[in-house]
Amino acid sequence: MTYKTGGILIENLRKVYGHGDTAVEALKNVNMQVSAGEVVGLVGPSGSGKSTLLKCLGAIIEPTSGRMTLGDEVIYDNGWKIPDLRTLRRDRIGFVFQAPYLIPFLDVTDNVALLPMLAGVPNELARQRALELLTSLDVLHRAKAEPSQLSGGEQQRVSIARALANKPPVILADEPTAPLDSERALSVIRILNDMARLAQTAIIVVTHDEKIIPTFKRIYHIRDGQTVEEKGEGRSLQ
């Protein structure tokens, strides 16, 4: 397997939920690599293991065995290799969900600035970074608004800004375009591709969305807990 440093490498990952008669082998043998600067699609039928894989990679649940490397660091090798998983999640992994999950009582700027503030970035600097991200995501005009005053597409762009705020080397996006129309869905994918290229972020997008699947250059299919890599169409986003 060729692996350019700075991305994601998953080797022989296995996850079994429960024990004995009720055990479910959700991931049997997952192998994946995503280079820094690359966006790959992860597709598969319901129950195939997509969420389990993202949760393992996002250090939300513990795999049963295998190995995961983020950037240049092995984070899991038949056991966690990082003592502080909260800091790992906060500083090195950006999450984008189907629902934006913005904090309703904070304005858009503070929703984006919160994570860098929690990571110790001085408040003004964190807000400055948030405004830069809102500019590049074309929602600066909503910087002072509350999330409830935004359209669905705007909320999703703010949640992408939040995912990028700590400049994580990895972004995990779970059905990020499901609620969006075709134009907005493609615009979200264009933004993720631009961000991957500019910030050298490795991005995995879990999706069923036929509108965006043709845009990926590489796709991993997951079925019964096993992955198969396939060349995607890589349709132009310009």
Ligand X SMILES: Nc1ncnc2c1ncn2[C@@H]1O[C@H](COP(=O)(O)OP(=O)(O)OP(=O)(O)O)[C@@H](O)[C@H]1O
24-34/8-17 β-pairing = antiparallel
Q: Cα-flanking dihedrals φ and ψ of residue 37, to 5°?
A: 90, 5
226 binds ligand X (CB under 6 A): no
127 binds ligand X (CB under 6 A): no
The b/e string for 92-122 (b: 16+ C-beta within 10 A; e otherwise) is bbbbbbbebebeeeebbbbbbbbbbbeeebe
Question: Which of 8, 9, 13, 26 lies at the binding interface for ligand X (CB under 6 A)?
Answer: 26
H or E segment and range at residue 77:
strand 73-77
Nearest distance, CB of residue 44 and ligand X, angstroms: 5
Contact 172, 10 (CB under 8 A): no
Q: Which residue lies nearer to ligand X by CB, 24 or 228?
A: 24
Q: Which residue lies nearer to ligand X by CB, 126 or 171?
A: 171
Nearest distance, CB of residue 26 and ligand X, angstroms: 3
Q: Which residue lies nearer to ligand X by CB, 128 or 226?
A: 226
18 binds ligand X (CB under 6 A): yes
Contact 220, 13 (CB under 8 A): no
Nearest distance, CB of residue 154 and ligand X, angstroms: 26
21 binds ligand X (CB under 6 A): no
Instruction: Copy the structure tokens of residue 108.
Output: 């858009």
Please report, as residue ranges, which positions from 38 to 97 form the binding site for ligand X (by CB under 6 A). 44, 46-52
Nearest distance, CB of residue 214 and ligand X, angstroms: 20
Contact 185, 208 (CB under 8 A): no
Q: Which residue lies nearer to ligand X by CB, 44 or 116?
A: 44
Q: Which residue lies nearer to ligand X by CB, 53 or 115?
A: 53
Contact 98, 174 (CB under 8 A): yes
17 binds ligand X (CB under 6 A): yes
Based on DSSP, count helices (H) and strands (E) in the chain, helices before strands. 6, 10
Nearest distance, CB of residue 206 and ligand X, angstroms: 7
Nearest distance, CB of residue 104 and ligand X, angstroms: 26
Q: Which residue lies nearer to ligand X by CB, 133 or 203?
A: 203
- Which sign, positive or negative, has the C-alpha torsion 23, 98, 42, 13? negative
Cα–Cα separations (whole angstroms), residue 225 to 26, 56, 158, 172: 5, 13, 32, 18
Q: Which residues bind ligand X (CB under 6 A)?
A: 17-18, 24, 26, 44, 46-52
